Amino acid sequence: MFTKNDQLAVNAIRCLSLAQIEKANSGHPGLPMGASPMAYVLFNKILKTNPKNENWFDRDRFVLSAGHGSAMLYSLLHLSGYDLSIDDLKQFRQKGSKTPGHPEYSHTKGVEVTTGPLGQGIGQAVGLAIAEKHMQALYNKDDFKIIDHYTFALCGDGDLMEGVSYEAMSLAGHLNLNKLIVLYDSNDICLDGSLSSSFSENVEKRVSAQNWNYLKVEDGNNLEEIYKAIKKAKENKNGPTLIEVKTIIGYGSKNQGTNKVHGAPIGKEDFSLAKKNYGWEFEDFEVPDEVYNTFEVGILKNGKEENKKWDEILKKYEEKYPEDYKELMIGINRKLPKDFMKDVKKYDSSMKALATRASSGEIIQDLSKITRNFWGGSADLFASNKTDIKDEKSFSDENSCGRNIFYGVREFAMAAIGNGIIAHGGSFHHVSTFFVFADYLKAAIRLSALSGHALTYVFTHDSIAVGEDGPTHEPIEQLAMLRSIPNTIVIRPADANETRLAWKIALESQNTPVILSLTRQNLPNLKQTENLEDINRGAYVIKDCENPELILIATGSEVSLALEVSNKFEEENKKVRVVSMPSMELFRMQDDSYKNEILPKEVKKVSIEMASTFGWSEFTGDDGLNIGIDRFGISGKGEEVQDELGFCVEKIKEKITNKFFK
């Protein structure tokens, strides 16, 4: 099946990769030199994708989890016909290029997810496969397979050592994701030297114990054996498959098989030697026509044909199943009807007090009726987070249209998988856990933000009001940490109506993750929010007076507290404005006119929030007062803990009085 032109194409990938790295004098040559054969077979003989229409929805997805091998991926994308030129390859790792050091989603056409932090590519690949399985169950018909594709990933030893890979692979096996195939570039070398110095697991037994299938290719240069293994994996109906491909890192280099070729250019002399060993007779960045022709009749031809077939099927699907088609497009375009909130419950002050996690739970039920492609999951905390969709089954192999993913106690994997689900497209997904465990999954939130994935994070039990569970479960520094992540919106709603509007922002977001910070304890439904139409500007005046001499700025559960404090000052004829600031990030986006209208510079300001005071001086100024908690919490009843740490009307009023009114 394979010819000399196929081998020529493999060596073209190797030499293009090396040329990029040498020109940049930066990069990782070892992986491309060793793994190019399996990457070539996958791309040009297996992958169902159309390089001329990179957003074709039913394409196979490929994840380079070992993102440091980016030069190989860019070489493949160029040769396959994506919008990536030789000149782009020459700009590898340079400022403003399409070819950054590690692959970035939406930055380079053909890159499905952002990778580089090892292990997260595997997690995102699991998310891609879950999304495919879920949408297949929702939209396929007996006479139409509108969703039918595979997810492939290429990983290295480092990926498999990362904890997130254990979490994600465990869930993937449990869910029987048989259309997930991972190629393992097994070269026995890590950056510091021999893999045996730090890793001695039996990978076959490990993945088998996780309900994966295991295949092995002994010679990573044998194109035929690689092809057979991938085809066999595709035929499998039970469980995902890991194919261990034994390779030689830096194959062709004088230092092949050593860590010397892992993470630094091999140098001009060794590059020449490698070319000689490959039989490569061309200049740097020169590719013979035979190679381009090989890809033209392979991935390009097959992709265009498959894409055309799918377009024809989709048109017939629309005619026969118009409602399903309409809903499918809502998910693919991530665009809900303009009035989608009209049937979502509103709250008034006569209703009983509710924790914002509880009102969020009620809101989720209403949102779930708008479209079936709204779904979510929790890290073994559905009962506490209130994020499950009632009367819906859990997502499973037997019920893959289920809308509740039981992620288990796998916070990091949950977020990485959520990123994959959003990257796949077609649905609105949320993930949830306790706020304090945001630390476990912070690295995945960072990738959400960097990638522009509009994943919704629901974090409950958001303050010391958690109480009895004590300081291990009482978030202090997490709000400041999350607010520090670029391209991330954190919303801490004051009551049920603000929570309702926070969900609106989350579902309307196109390329920004939204984090909802919700309470365990009940909060009053505020009279002032009954007619609130949006919180899109991040902060607003919730209680006002003429010529205020003091402004109290609060978030979340502390807004009602701030209102009580303002009432006490009113009794002393003090003029106090109260500002609810559910989102610092949204407020920062406003023009100076609005900011000055809400927070006039000449008026004294106080922030009130049961968390670290870090960052609040931006809004209160150098002469302001920031009331917060800059220590760990304590165990006890929630109200007692709040009182002990200064969060009651009397103690807050006293602090403000001592600062401004003495």
Q: 189: annotated binding-site residue? A: yes
State residue 214 phi and psi, 5-degree precision.
Answer: -130, 130
Would the CA dihedral through 72, 75, 79, 80 be positive or negative?
positive
Q: Is 647 annotated as a binding residue?
A: no
Point out the catalytic residue in the list 112, 244, 362, 411.
411
Do the Cβ atoms of 573 and 602 come closer than 8 Å?
A: no
Record the tokens describing residue 9, joined without a space: 């194409």
CA dist 210 and 205 (Å) reads 9
Q: Binding site annotation covers 158?
A: yes
Amino acid at 557: S
In Å, what is the CA distance from 618 to each residue of 40, 256, 613? 52, 54, 11
Is 157 marked as binding a ligand? yes
CA 153 vs. chain centroid, Å, equals 17
Q: Are 49 and 60 in contact (CB under 8 A)?
A: yes
Q: Known binder of ligand: residue 262?
A: yes
How many other C-beta atoms can be found within 10 angstroms of the C-beta atom of residue 40?
A: 28
- Phi (first) and psi of residue 37, to 5 degrees: -60, -45
List the structure tokens of 396. 């499973």
461 is in an annotated binding site: yes
3-state secondary structure 492-530: CCCCHHHHHHHHHHHHHCCCCCEEEECCCCCECCCHHHC
DSSP 248-259: -TTTTSTTTTSG
Q: Tell me the two tokens of residue 659.
A: 């600062």
Q: Is 447 annotated as a binding residue?
A: no
Positive or negative CA dihedral for 423, 424, 430, 436?
negative
State residue 179 phi and psi, 5-degree precision. -100, 20
500 is in an annotated binding site: no
Q: Look at residue 350 and give its three-state secondary structure.
A: coil
End-to-end CA distance of the chain: 88
Residue 492 assigned to a binding site: no
3-class secondary structure per residue, 152-184: EEEEEHHHHHCHHHHHHHHHHHHCCCCCEEEEE
Beta bridge partners of 377: 405, 431
d(C-alpha 609, C-alpha 629), whole Å: 8
Please confirm, yes or no, whether 327 is among the known catalytic residues.
no
Q: Three-state SS for 62? A: strand
- The answer to the question of whether 437 is labelled as a binding residue is yes
Q: What is the pairing mode between strands 193-194 and 374-378?
A: unpaired
Q: Is the sign of the CA dihedral 141, 143, 145, 146 positive or negative?
A: negative
- 384 is an annotated ligand-binding site residue: yes
520 assigned binding-site residue: yes
- Number of helices (H), then strands (E), belonging to the chain: the values are 25, 18
Beta bridge partners of 153: 63, 182
Residue 432, annotated as binding a ligand = no
Q: Give the separation between CA 640 and CA 645, rounded to whole angstroms.
A: 9
Picking from 358, 372, 515, 501, the residue whose alpha carbon sits closest to that of residue 430 is: 515
- Residue ranges of the annotated binding site for substrate are 28, 262, 357, 384, 461, 469, 473, 520
- Residue ranges of the annotated binding site for Mg(2+) are 157, 187, 189
Catalytic residues: 411
- Residue ranges of the annotated binding site for thiamine diphosphate are 68, 116-118, 158, 187, 262, 437
- Residue ranges of the annotated binding site are 28, 68, 116-118, 157-158, 187, 189, 262, 357, 384, 437, 461, 469, 473, 520
